[in-house]
Amino acid sequence: MKKILIIEDDQIVANVYRNKFAVEGYQAELASDGETGLKIMRTFRPDIIILDLMLPGISGVDVIREIRSEADFSKIPIIVFSNTYLTNMIQEAWRAGANKCLSKSNCTPKDVIEVVRHSIGDSGAIHQTNASIKKESTAATAEQEAANDAEFQADLRKAFIENLPVTLYSLRTGLQALIKSENEMTRLKKVHEIYRQIHALNGNAGVAGLVQIARMASAFEALLKEIYEKPKNINASTLRTIATSVDFLSILFDKGTLPEQQETPISKILVVDDEAISRRAIVYALEKAQLKSISLEDPEQALQLLAENDFDLVFLDVDMPGMTGYELCAKLRAMPQHKKTPVVFVTSLNDFDARTNSTMAGGNDFIGKPFLFIELTVKALIHVLQAKLQRSQRQGN
């Protein structure tokens, strides 16, 4: 029997994987942090290690380095769970010696099992037994396995959904405490508490197959991590984005758990900014969330494109030659197809009057330059996913 060590601080996720591996004929041991994981590794002597990069205490990257420094485990396959937005950490994991990086937000237990089998060249005890079954029963066996996986996923989804009200209450309580924090140390503590909750939500939604919640939680987790590691980025804009993210998660908890809501929406986004560097920064932030966009520097050209095409989201600079972002927004609102298209202003005019003018012109959101890439990514995801939910509701009605 092949042995697997799972180093994961979320007990729900860890137990799901251990139970699934047991059903598949593997022996799995759990560790809730890196230091414990290293101790278990030396006595349990696993054939493969699965670990989360975002561990308390010793980071997942440091755990990998320690594993690779020990001769007995220098060649052991290591699979890591990562957040796709944390590209620097993923690159560090590769350099430290990880063999495979999996996205926690869109990787199911079935996917992980397939990766494990491939990594250690083993088909699992159950599948070795199945090899002796007559060929004519192969299709029936595959069908039964698919049914078992579907039932397993449905049970996970049900348990996850039943716990969402408790999760939401905890997030709202943490948000209120963050907003009321009177000093930087308290704010950082509250940011970290919300971060740990979103980290757990990301993993739980991923194993439950709730793609949209996991996708939103993954980006939100990365934003919270960035803010926690760089406290100077805690400001009115990021606090507003954190609050908006919690509010949108409550909508996803209520309306985004149905199976038909799990497909990734195909987005069409327009970015209008006369500054080339700013345009590239916005496009880069959108690409991190796999959101496709068209970018233009000329507002007149953008207006014509808006008249001829539908868009799911529009980013506008305010101060542009020939036509301001406010004027462009007012004109696109006069087009029937864009009466409700979300518009986000991205501008260095980060004051009360600018915010008021953006709302009066028909804007839905506002972000000031310079901005965090991941903050803009989170805002874009909120608008794109919310538009998808609204379309689904209209079609249902």
Q: Comparing 3-132 with 265-396, is the CATH topology the same? A: yes
All structural domains of the chain with their residue ranges: 3-132, 160-260, 265-396
Whole-prediction pTM: 0.85
Q: Is residue 260 over pLDDT 70?
A: no
- Residue 255 scores a pLDDT above 80: yes
Question: 39 vs 63, 147, 205, CA distance in Å?
Answer: 11, 38, 29
- CATH of the structural domain 3-132, one choice from 3.40.50.2300, 3.40.630.10, 3.40.30.10, 3.40.50.720: 3.40.50.2300
- Residue 396 pLDDT more than 70? no
Specify the CATH superfamily of domain 265-396.
Response regulator (3.40.50.2300)
pLDDT band of residue 133 (cuts 50, 70, 90) is: very low
Q: In the prediction, which pLDDT does 351 show? A: 55
Q: Which amino acid is at 313?
A: L
Q: Would you say residue 322 has pLDDT above 80?
A: yes
pLDDT above 70 as % of the chain: 87
Parallel/antiparallel/unpaired status of strands 313-316 and 269-272: parallel
pLDDT of residue 6: 96
Q: Give residue-wise pLDDT tens across range 91-117.
A: 999 999 999 999 888 888 888 999 999
Residue 126: per-residue pLDDT: 44
At 135, the pLDDT band (50, 70, 90 cuts) reads very low
Mean pLDDT of 9-30: 91
Mean pLDDT score across all residues of the chain:
87
| Percent of the residues in the chain that have a pLDDT greater than 90, as a whole number | 59
121: pLDDT strictly greater than 70: yes
Q: Work out the burial of residue 274: count CB atoms within 10 Å of its CB; fewer than 13 is exposed, 13-18 middle, 19 or more buried.
A: middle
Does the 160-260 domain belong in CATH 1.20.120.160? Answer: yes
